């Protein structure tokens, strides 16, 4: 069974970079969608099963953390990894409060991305 990943970032360049990296991972992962906002991501989640979300934390209108809270209402077992250019502790604290599965700092290193995807895929396969 392939693991479905949804990518969310308001920056088109970052979204495309992330999409390419995830597709080249060695895991059985399908990118089921990309969204430039939390609202668009929630619409995708209504149509398709999503196991992992990789989301920017800084987005206009709906912050990544607010999106994550809403996404968890759709799928409580969802694994969420935040990506941020900020080392601001308040964001890290907020991600802990909503039980995020990970937090990656931009620029994201391939090795870090693949490590976190590997551990999440293993966790999902064991559930």
Query: At residue 9, does pLDDT exceed 90?
Result: yes
pLDDT for residue 6: 98
Please give the residue range of the domain that contains residue 72: 3-126
Query: 34 vs 99, which has greater pLDDT?
Result: 34
Strand order in the sheet with 102-105: 29-35, 3-8, 52-56, 79-84, 102-105
Query: 84 vs 117, which has greater pLDDT?
Result: 117
Q: Domain holding 82: CATH number? A: 3.40.50.2300
Indicate the pLDDT class of residue 19, thresholds 50, 70 and 90.
very high
Q: How many domains does the chain have?
A: 1
Q: Per-residue pLDDT tens for 49-106?
A: 999 999 998 888 888 889 999 999 999 999 999 998 877 667 667 777 888 999 898 8
């Amino acid at each position: 069974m392939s693991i479905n990943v949804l990518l969310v970032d308001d920056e088109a360049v970052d979204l495309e970079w992330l999409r390419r990296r995830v597709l080249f991972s060695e895991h059985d992962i399908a990118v089921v969608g990309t969204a430039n906002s939390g609202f668009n991501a929630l619409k995708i989640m209504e149509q398709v099963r999503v196991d992992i979300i990789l989301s920017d934390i800084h987005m206009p209108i709906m912050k990544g953390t607010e999106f994550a809270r809403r996404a968890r209402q759709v799928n409580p077992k969802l694994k969420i990894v935040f990506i941020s250019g900020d080392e601001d502790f308040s964001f890290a604290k907020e991600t802990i409060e909503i039980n995020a599965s990970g937090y990656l700092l931009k620029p994201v290193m391939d090795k870090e991305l693949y490590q976190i995807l590997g551990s999440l895929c293993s966790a999902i396969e064991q559930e």
